[in-house]
Amino acid sequence: MADDARHRSRVTIGGTDYTLRGEASETHLRGVARAVDSLMQQIASANPRLDGRRIAVLTAVNLEDELIRLREENRQLREENRELREENRELQSKYHEVLVLLDEHTRVSPESSPRSGGV
């Protein structure tokens, strides 16, 4: 991809300035940086004796854990969606079969029609 098609954003993460580049919008890049910085601050507050490198590693571990969980959840939801689509197809097929049977029944027994003058 050409470099001019990439977005660039100057951000601060963990007290250090970075220039992020990517295909995502500058707003997205800044949002990612804010989320990482916020998580680093939470970890640093909970563990005041940790140095910056360890805070960064724990941040990465936390983010990877969340990513793995979300990927698994996504996989499960996709599987559930696939199963529901299949069930929907089966139900639609049965519904159409019932409509055909109802139509055939109505044609075969006109005496069941209210207009036939029956009792």
SS3 33: helix
The residue ranges of every structural domain in the chain are: 3-108
Output the pTM of the full model: 0.71
Closest CA to 1 of 26, 23, 24, 27: 23
Q: Are strands 7-13 and 16-22 parallel, antiparallel or unpaired?
A: antiparallel
Ordered per-residue pLDDT tens for the chain, 119 residues: 455 569 999 999 999 999 999 999 999 999 999 999 999 999 999 999 999 999 999 999 999 999 999 999 999 999 999 999 999 999 999 999 999 999 988 887 766 555 555 55
